[in-house]
């Protein structure tokens, strides 16, 4: 783009009293930061717990301190910001509470990586120093997120910023833990858990990501040591676990192995023999129908072991290194796997090998290491009654899920939830408030209780799953367990807006904890679920993908408003949101268009002062735009109530650009030129329309609207002004009249374009509007169509149909007969087609008998329109001079 408008000579007329402070292009970067700091300094985002206003509360899904905000955050933040800004304008005590999550395992991993670069481990530092180091890290990097939120324009209450490791929130964690422990909902048990051999901690079931990996499936012959009849083939993808086998299981009805039941067979590579047991879990159709049982290293095997009283033999340590005595001791699990297979092969015990064998393997969602199921003593939440309550709250309608289809996913989870492993063998997080005494005594402490003194008492070294504290977020952030004013005023919150990817991690847990700790009051009444942000070809955006975009880059290039508007435009409920740079540019263009339209209004003395003129003083265009304006207010409100952000964005863009800017503003130019009372009225109406429009747009694009609204109205800030209300004013007649005008102008423009007439070329012409509803718009039409008063020597006539009549346009000069014939013929063809279709339809008895009246009537109208069009077009064709 080499062209730069500022370098062109300014050809504006002398009447253009352009405000010197309003350049022809909107420059977001120059104003956004200043505006934001002003909003914060004035305290407009701060909610008052003592106010009489009705509260409206959203707590932010706390971003992890580990990262920076990506477009997904920008997306959700924009929607939450829009919701809370609108409610604030509507007169609610609107609170959007910000904060961050300590993100236990994720953050610990980051800091450990940092240490590794220094050649150190967390063990080198020791627990206390390591935790101190993580706090430093949090101070340093947490600020980046806050800066991004400011840049985006998030209207959050910074005085209420929270962090899940804050003292107050930690008290909440300990209080809930103690209460649940006393209620028997938290217990300690030794079970198979998902163990990450790299993070060296247990993780919960949903922190495991399954993916298809290429492995191997080897079939091993067990038994057969003394007699030929006791051998059985089992298959495994984890051959190393055979060292811990304590049985072979077969289906109880499987006749092939009936003779082996109760007998012991030799376990290869060991000096042990193991029993053959019968268990329903075994699928006789799968493989050989016999399965090796390793209770200490597989969840299903553990269950079989429990049913048959089998011993659980641990053969690997926490790093996945073989501990079983023998030739494989000290080998890593994957080395051991190939060594063991090789050894078995040598002994002739391998009956089949399938390689590669693609199967689903669990990985640590944090570091992608292959999970090792491991028998371990951990703390658990017994979720039964909590999950039941969480499901019921949605089932009985106390909590609504948007879009409703997503509730199936929620129910699927809460109705089948297994107990939740909450202890983590990490250092960063809330320490489990349990102490063990010298005599095996166990004591769970509340926040105000002193740790037991005396020899031999030690605290449990583990910390809680990070989602334990985020599950308390809707009330812990408001001061619970203290009965604070905030809690009384703002709990329960109104809407939870978050991605559908954390329904299980976070949403369900907040439901459980909220209902449990807050006496059955759910933490929010609406769950609004969003999709993921994708690139402009629908591909998933992730940090590892090259398509990943830092929202800051786009905000710097095009403004925060442009990014925000693009995101809301794509926000269909629950659906993924594609975004591309071209679309952000288009939104930037929209912001600039608003800027310039307002600039035009200011140059022409649009005003917001004083009451609107009486209806009797309003012209048809004024009544039309005010009618439309109020319809749009109602429409936007409806879309907000349904969380239809894409629809409300479209409605506003369409109204602003296609109606206000392209028509009302253009028509007003003629009015202003003529002057007098109509011009005064129009200035006031234009001011009104822009005032309301800017307020409607503000929650989506806060910066440009703030700049313009304060300039236009002289008001202090659009942030604290009122949300527009539908006055109820509608004028159907005016809307129809303007629609007719638009049709007429468009039709003439089309005629001109087909004729190859230059748009700027003033054409001598006669407009015959007598008796037409458009008579009063003649000046405007001449302006829009660039027609001069009558010239001389008319040669040709164009007769243009519009709703309710015909516009006769006589052009001087020689028109292009071929072009005109082509145009008329084309129109004639489509009119004839229309006639055929409607006639056929009206000749259909079934249609006449069963179709609703208004449909039949509509078809009749279409047919008669087609008939008259054909007659007129035919006549015009006949009138054309032959070449």
Where in 147-176 is the site for RNA (CB under 7 A)? none
Residue 417 CA: distances (Å) to CA of 173, 362, 380, 381: 22, 19, 13, 11
Number of residues that bind RNA (CB under 7 A): 97
Considering the complex, state which of residue 370 and residue 572 has its C-beta at the smaller distance from RNA. 572
Among 40, 49, 367, 646, binds RNA (CB under 7 A): 646
At residue 714, the 3 state secondary structure works out as coil
Among 146, 206, 679, 877, binds RNA (CB under 7 A): 206
880 makes contact with RNA (CB under 7 A)? no
Considering the complex, state which of residue 59 and residue 571 has its C-beta at the smaller distance from RNA. 571
Q: Which strands form 434-436's sheet, in the order they lie side by side?
A: 442-444, 434-436, 458-459
Considering the complex, state which of residue 307 and residue 540 has its C-beta at the smaller distance from RNA. 540
Among 38, 307, 325, 750, binds RNA (CB under 7 A): 750
**Under rule CB under 7 A, which residues in 313-372 are in contact with RNA?**
359-360, 362
At residue 771, the 3 state secondary structure works out as coil
Which of 518-526, 682-690, 724-732, 856-864 is the region at the interface with RNA (rule: CB under 7 A)?
Answer: 856-864
Query: What CA–CA distance (Å, rounded) separates 744 from 738?
Result: 10
Considering the complex, state which of residue 8 and residue 677 has its C-beta at the smaller distance from RNA. 8
841 is in an annotated binding site: no
850 makes contact with RNA (CB under 7 A)? yes
Which of 153-161, 479-487, 685-693, 858-866 is the region at the interface with RNA (rule: CB under 7 A)?
Answer: 858-866
482 makes contact with RNA (CB under 7 A)? no
Which of 101-109, 305-313, 460-468, 749-757 is the region at the interface with RNA (rule: CB under 7 A)?
Answer: 749-757
Query: What CA–CA distance (Å, rounded) separates 189 from 380?
Result: 7
Query: What CA–CA distance (Å, rounded) separates 869 from 831?
Result: 7
C-beta atoms surrounding 465 within 10 Å: 28
**Under rule CB under 7 A, which residues in 361-390 are in contact with RNA?**
362
Place of tokens 């063991």: 340
CB of 499 to RNA, least distance (A): 11
C-beta atoms surrounding 807 within 10 Å: 24
Cβ atoms of 162 and 169 within 8 Å: the answer is: yes
DSSP one-letter string for 187-220? EEEEEEEEEETTTTEEE-GGGEEEEEEEEEEEEE
Which of 34-42, 131-139, 145-153, 570-578 is the region at the interface with RNA (rule: CB under 7 A)?
Answer: 570-578
Residue 275 CA: distances (Å) to CA of 253, 288, 310: 17, 17, 9
CB of 617 to RNA, least distance (A): 24
Among 572, 631, 736, 806, binds RNA (CB under 7 A): 572
H-helix or E-strand spanning residue 116: helix 104-117
Cβ atoms of 223 and 257 within 8 Å: the answer is: no
Residues in contact with 452: Cβ distance below 8 Å, sequence separation at least 6, in sequence order: 435, 437, 443
Among 144, 55, 822, smallest CA distance to 494 is for 55
Written as six digits, the tokens of 68 are 């920076």
CB of 247 to RNA, least distance (A): 12
CB of 22 to RNA, least distance (A): 8
Which of 320-328, 449-457, 536-544, 801-809 is the region at the interface with RNA (rule: CB under 7 A)?
Answer: 536-544
840 makes contact with RNA (CB under 7 A)? no
Taking residues 493 to 512 in sequence order and writing x for each that binds RNA by CB under 7 A, - otherwise, the string is: --------x--x--------
**Under rule CB under 7 A, which residues in 277-306 are in contact with RNA?**
282-283, 285-287, 289, 291-292, 299-300
Among 278, 367, 389, 603, binds RNA (CB under 7 A): 603
11 makes contact with RNA (CB under 7 A)? yes
Which of 1-9, 120-128, 461-469, 684-692 is the region at the interface with RNA (rule: CB under 7 A)?
Answer: 1-9
Among 650, 680, 735, 808, binds RNA (CB under 7 A): 650
Among 506, 491, 508, 516, smallest CA distance to 407 is for 508
**Under rule CB under 7 A, which residues in 761-780 are in contact with RNA?**
none
556 makes contact with RNA (CB under 7 A)? no
Kindly report whether the peptide bond that precedes residue 481 is cis, defined as omega within 30 degrees of 0: yes
859 makes contact with RNA (CB under 7 A)? yes
Considering the complex, state which of residue 322 and residue 785 has its C-beta at the smaller distance from RNA. 785
Considering the complex, state which of residue 382 and residue 452 has its C-beta at the smaller distance from RNA. 382
Considering the complex, state which of residue 428 and residue 583 has its C-beta at the smaller distance from RNA. 583
Place of tokens 């920008």: 74
Q: 789: left (phi > 0), else alpha (psi -120 to 50), else beta?
A: beta
**Under rule CB under 7 A, which residues in 653-692 are in contact with RNA?**
657-658, 661-662, 665-666, 669
Among 13, 262, 440, 546, binds RNA (CB under 7 A): 13
Residues in contact with 513: Cβ distance below 8 Å, sequence separation at least 6, in sequence order: 176, 386, 471, 472, 523
Which of 191-199, 590-598, 692-700, 715-723 is the region at the interface with RNA (rule: CB under 7 A)?
Answer: 590-598
Looking from the CA of 13 toward its CB, the CA atoms found within 13 Å total 5
Cβ atoms of 31 and 594 within 8 Å: the answer is: no
759 makes contact with RNA (CB under 7 A)? yes
CB of 495 to RNA, least distance (A): 21
736 makes contact with RNA (CB under 7 A)? no
Which of 25-33, 138-146, 467-475, 628-636 is the region at the interface with RNA (rule: CB under 7 A)?
Answer: 25-33
CB of 34 to RNA, least distance (A): 18
Written as six digits, the tokens of 437 are 């005494």
Among 40, 586, 870, 877, binds RNA (CB under 7 A): 586
Query: What CA–CA distance (Å, rounded) separates 347 from 282?
Result: 27
408 makes contact with RNA (CB under 7 A)? yes
**Under rule CB under 7 A, which residues in 227-266 are in contact with RNA?**
234-237, 249
Angle at 218 between CA 214 and CA 222, to 5 degrees: 155
Cβ atoms of 452 and 435 within 8 Å: the answer is: yes
Considering the complex, state which of residue 144 and residue 841 has its C-beta at the smaller distance from RNA. 841
862 makes contact with RNA (CB under 7 A)? yes
Query: What CA–CA distance (Å, rounded) separates 37 from 820?
Result: 60
CB of 824 to RNA, least distance (A): 14
DSSP one-letter string for 227-247? -GGG-EEEEES-GGGGGG--E
Binding residues for ATP: 543
Annotated binding residues, as ranges? 543
């Amino acid at each position: 783009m080499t062209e730069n408008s500022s370098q062109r000579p300014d050809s504006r007329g002398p009447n253009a009293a352009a405000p010197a402070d309003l350049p022809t292009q909107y420059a977001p970067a120059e104003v956004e930061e200043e505006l934001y700091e002003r909003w914060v300094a004035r305290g407009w985002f701060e909610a008052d717990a003592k106010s009489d206003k009705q509260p409206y509360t959203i707590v932010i899904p706390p971003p992890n301190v580990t990262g920076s905000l990506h477009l997904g955050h920008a997306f959700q933040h924009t929607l939450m910001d829009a919701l809370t800004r609108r409610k604030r304008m509507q007169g609610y005590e609107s609170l959007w509470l910000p904060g961050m999550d300590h993100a236990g395992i994720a953050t610990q991993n980051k800091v450990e990586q940092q240490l590794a670069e220094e050649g150190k481990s967390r063990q080198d530092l020791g627990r206390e120093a390591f935790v101190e180091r993580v706090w430093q890290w949090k101070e340093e990097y947490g600020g980046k997120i806050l800066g991004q939120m400011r840049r985006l324009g998030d209207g959050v209450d910074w005085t209420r910023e929270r962090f899940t490791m804050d003292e107050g929130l930690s008290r909440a964690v300990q209080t809930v833990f103690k209460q649940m422990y006393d209620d028997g909902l938290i217990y300690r048990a030794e079970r198979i858990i998902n163990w990450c051999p790299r993070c060296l901690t247990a993780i919960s079931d949903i922190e495991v990501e399954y993916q298809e990996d290429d492995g191997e499936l080897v079939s091993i012959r067990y038994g057969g040591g003394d007699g030929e009849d006791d051998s059985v083939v089992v298959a495994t993808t984890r051959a190393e676990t055979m060292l811990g086998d304590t049985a072979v299981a077969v289906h109880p009805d499987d006749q092939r192995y009936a003779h082996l039941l109760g007998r012991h067979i030799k376990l290869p590579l060991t000096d042990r023999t193991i029993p053959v047991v019968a268990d329903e879990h075994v699928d006789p159709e799968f493989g050989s129908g016999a399965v090796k049982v390793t209770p200490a290293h597989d969840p299903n095997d553990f269950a079989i072991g429990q049913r048959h009283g089998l011993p659980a033999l641990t053969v690997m340590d926490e790093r996945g290194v073989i501990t079983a005595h023998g030739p494989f001791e000290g080998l890593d699990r994957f080395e051991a796997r190939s060594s063991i297979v090789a050894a078995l092969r040598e002994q002739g015990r391998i009956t089949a090998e399938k390689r590669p064998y693609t199967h689903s393997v669990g990985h640590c969602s944090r570091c992608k290491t292959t999970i090792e199921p491991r028998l371990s003593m951990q703390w658990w939440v017994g979720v039964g009654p909590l999950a039941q309550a969480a499901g019921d709250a949605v089932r009985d309608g106390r909590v609504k899920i948007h879009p409703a289809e997503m509730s199936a996913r929620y129910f699927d989870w809460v109705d089948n939830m297994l107990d939740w492993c909450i202890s983590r063998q990490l250092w960063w997080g809330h320490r489990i408030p349990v102490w063990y005494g010298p005599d095996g005594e166990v004591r769970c402490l509340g926040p105000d209780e002193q740790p037991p003194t005396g020899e031999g008492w030690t605290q449990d070294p583990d910390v809680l799953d990070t989602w334990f504290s985020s599950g308390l977020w809707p009330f812990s952030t408001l001061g619970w367990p203290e009965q604070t004013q905030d809690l009384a005023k703002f709990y329960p919150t109104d809407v939870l807006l978050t991605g559908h990817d954390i329904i299980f991690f976070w949403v369900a847990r907040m439901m459980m904890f909220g209902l449990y700790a807050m006496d059955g009051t759910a933490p929010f009444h609406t769950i609004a679920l969003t999709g993921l942000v994708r690139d402009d070809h629908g591909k998933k955006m992730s940090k590892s993908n090259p398509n990943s975009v830092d929202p800051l880059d786009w905000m710097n290039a095009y403004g925060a408003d442009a990014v925000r508007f693009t995101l809301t435009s794509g926000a269909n409920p629950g659906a993924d949101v594609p975004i591309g740079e071209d679309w952000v540019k288009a939104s930037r263009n929209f912001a600039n268009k608003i800027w310039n339209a307002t600039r035009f209004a200011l140059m022409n003395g649009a005003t917001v002062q004083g009451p609107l003129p009486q209806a009797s003083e309003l012209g048809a265009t004024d009544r039309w735009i005010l009618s439309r304006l109020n319809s749009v207010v109602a429409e936007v409100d409806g879309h907000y109530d349904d969380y239809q952000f894409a629809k409300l964005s479209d409605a506003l863009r369409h109204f602003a650009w296609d109606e206000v800017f392209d028509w009302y503003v253009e028509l007003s130019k003629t009015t202003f030129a003529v002057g007098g009372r109509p011009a005064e009225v129009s200035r006031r109406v234009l001011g009104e329309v822009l005032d309301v429009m800017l307020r409607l747009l503000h929650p989506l694009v806060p910066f440009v609207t703030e700049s313009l609204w304060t300039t236009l109205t002289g008001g202090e800030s659009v942030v604290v002004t009122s949300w527009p209300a539908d006055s109820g004013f509608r004028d159907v007649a005016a809307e129809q009249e303007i629609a007719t005008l638009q049709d007429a102008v468009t039709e003439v423009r089309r005629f001109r374009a087909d004729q190859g007439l230059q748009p700027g070329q003033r054409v001598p012409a006669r407009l015959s509007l007598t008796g037409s509803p458009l008579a009063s718009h003649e000046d405007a039409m001449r302006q829009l169509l660039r027609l001069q008063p009558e010239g001389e020597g008319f040669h040709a006539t164009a007769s243009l149909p519009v709703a309710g009549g015909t516009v006769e346009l006589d052009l001087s000069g020689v028109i292009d007969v071929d072009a005109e014939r082509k145009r008329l013929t084309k129109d004639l063809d489509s009119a004839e087609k229309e006639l055929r279709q409607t006639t056929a339809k009206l000749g259909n008895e079934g249609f006449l008998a069963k179709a609703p009246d208004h449909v039949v009537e509509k078809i009749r109208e279409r047919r008669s329109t087609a008939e008259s069009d054909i007659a007129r077009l035919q006549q015009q064709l006949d009138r054309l001079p032959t070449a």
